[in-house]
């Protein structure tokens, strides 16, 4: 079963929703208008339950199949935009300067709404589908907020599936991999305390700028000399702030950055060594280093059985040649990872073709991908919850 006929008919409608969302981007948890739009649509489709306010502004719709009781399967879309000035030049470009749907979450939301409409019309399955619309994917851990509000238990969700668009992957293609798919993303801030002085009397100072410079260099050895080359690790110092005047050695310097990993043991190791290297390098210069390490999104880990199943479904929609199963992991992060920590499931990439890259100001979701995305959701629901199965 390739793209479903009814889904193809829905393309214009879903694209219209997508462009409405694109024009009206909202950030993080502040997705009030978006979640209102989503909840109204779900009610108009006749979803059995529509619940708002889960994880602050998250929305869940429950659609019961017509073939009796069975398991509940969760499909997740994200609703939030980014603090970016859009330059796509499209007629439906953002109306709010400084906010833009530059990650395509407008497309994810619209495609899942399309699937919800189809599934509520047809109900050709046994059990229930939970359509999950989360806020704050872009750094706010909205998925975790929904989980902490009891998302999984409240609706009895047994498995979870997620989807993200991928620019440059051709439209009509999918990509997925088993295991670690996207990185854990942590942040750190290092404050190096020295002693300020006249810049012409360095012997009276403890120069935190020199100590900070050595720390930046020393941190590179955690990746290059201490980590198995086959285990991915990124340590990036992304900011250095210290000093104001050309004739003053400042009292302190602040460094900030990110650590990305694909395995829990690499993450633990990097966290430990980052502090040790920073502190001992500071001491070597007579300074001290205060290290604040904050764990962000965990590794997005695809479960074996559910990944095989996702591949089977994507292959039915797009043809087996259009489904890549051996793609390398991304070092970006994704908060669907929290859902995959709670329930088995899989996160798939859907081709978005010739668009600007994600988080680029010129990016706009490619509506040509809509029938593939909606068909994936619908086929997944009808197959996982088929009356013949189990």
Q: How far is the CB of 164 from Zn ion (least distance, A)?
A: 6
Which range binds Zn ion by CB under 5 A, 95-103, 118-126, 190-198, 262-270?
Answer: 95-103
Q: How far is the CB of 332 from Zn ion (least distance, A)?
A: 7
User: Which CB, 77 or 274, lies closer to Zn ion?
Assistant: 77
Cβ 358 to Zn ion shortest distance, Å: 6
Q: Considering the complex, state which of residue 85 and residue 265 has its C-beta at the smaller distance from Zn ion.
A: 85
CA dist 364 and 90 (Å) reads 8
Nearer to Zn ion, 73 or 103 (CB): 103
Would you say 239 or 357 has its CB closer to Zn ion? 357
Q: Is 143 in the site for Zn ion (CB under 5 A)?
A: no
Nearest to 385 by CA among 10, 7, 63, 42: 63
Collapse the DSSP code of 57 into the 3-class scheme (helix H, G, I; strand E, B; otherwise coil) and give the result.
Answer: coil
The CB-nearest residue to Zn ion is 103
| Site membership for Zn ion, residue 348 (CB under 5 A) | no
Longest Cα–Cα distance in the chain: 83
Smallest gap from residue 18 Cβ to Zn ion (A): 15
Helix (H) or strand (E) holding 272: helix 264-284
Give the footprint of Zn ion on residues 100-119 (CB under 5 A).
Answer: 103
Candidates 98-106, 171-179, 248-256, 381-389: pick the segment binding Zn ion (CB under 5 A): 98-106
Q: How far is the CB of 93 from Zn ion (least distance, A)?
A: 18
**Separation between Cα atoms, residue 111 and residue 163, nearest integer Å:** 10
Q: What is the DSSP code string of 189-251?
A: EEEEE-B-EETT-GGGSB-HHHHHHHHHHHHHHHHHHHS-TTS-EEEEEEEEE----TTEE-S
SS percent in the chain: helix, strand, coil, step 5:
40, 25, 35
Size of the site for Zn ion (CB under 5 A): 1
Angle at 336 between CA 330 and CA 338, to 5 degrees: 110
Shortest Cβ distance from residue 178 to Zn ion (Å)?
A: 21
Q: Which is nearer to Zn ion, 137 or 306 (CB)?
A: 137
Q: Rounded CA gap, 86 and 359, in Å?
A: 10
Cβ-based nearer residue to Zn ion, 103 or 145 = 103
Nearer to Zn ion (CB atom), residue 182 or residue 385: 182
Binding site for Zn ion (CB under 5 A): 103
């Amino acid at each position: 079963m390739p793209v479903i006929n009814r889904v193809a008919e829905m393309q214009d409608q879903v694209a219209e929703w997508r462009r409405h969302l694109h024009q009206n981007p909202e950030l993080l948890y502040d997705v009030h208008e978006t979640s209102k739009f989503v909840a109204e649509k779900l009610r108009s489709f006749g979803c059995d339950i529509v619940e708002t306010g889960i994880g602050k502004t998250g929305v869940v719709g429950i659609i019961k199949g017509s073939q009796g009781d069975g398991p509940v399967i969760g499909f997740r879309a994200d609703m939030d935009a980014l603090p970016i000035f859009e330059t796509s030049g499209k007629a439906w470009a953002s109306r709010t300067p400084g906010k833009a749907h530059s990650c395509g979450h407008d497309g994810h939301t619209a495609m899942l709404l399309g699937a919800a409409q189809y599934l509520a019309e047809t109900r050709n399955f046994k059990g229930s589908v939970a359509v999950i619309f989360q806020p704050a994917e872009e750094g706010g851990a909205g998925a975790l907020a929904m989980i902490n509000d009891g998302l999984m238990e409240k609706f009895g969700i047994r498995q979870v599936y997620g989807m993200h668009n991928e620019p440059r992957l051709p439209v009509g293609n999918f990509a997925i991999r088993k295991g670690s798919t996207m990185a854990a993303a942590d942040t750190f801030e290092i404050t190096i305390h020295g002693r300020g002085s006249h810049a012409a009397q360095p012997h009276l100072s403890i120069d935190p700028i020199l100590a900070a410079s050595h720390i930046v260099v020393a941190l590179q050895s955690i990746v290059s000399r201490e980590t198995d080359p086959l285990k991915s690790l990124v340590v990036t110092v992304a900011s250095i702030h210290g000093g104001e005047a050309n004739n003053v050695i400042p009292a302190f310097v602040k460094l900030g950055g990110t650590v990305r990993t694909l395995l829990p043991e690499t993450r633990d190791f990097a966290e430990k060594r980052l502090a040790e290297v920073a502190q001992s390098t500071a001491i070597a210069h007579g300074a001290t280093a205060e290290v604040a390490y904050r764990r962000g999104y965990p590794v997005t880990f695809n479960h074996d059985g559910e990944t095989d199943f996702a591949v089977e479904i994507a292959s039915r929609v797009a043809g087996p040649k259009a489904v890549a199963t051996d793609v390398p992991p991304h070092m970006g992060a994704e908060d669907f990872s929290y859902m995959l920590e709670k329930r088995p499931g899989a996160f798939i990439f859907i081709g978005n073709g010739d668009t600007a890259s994600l988080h680029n100001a010129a990016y706009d979701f490619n509506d040509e991908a809509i029938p593939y995305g909606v068909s994936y959701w619908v086929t997944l629901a009808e197959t996982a919850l088929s009356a013949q199965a189990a």
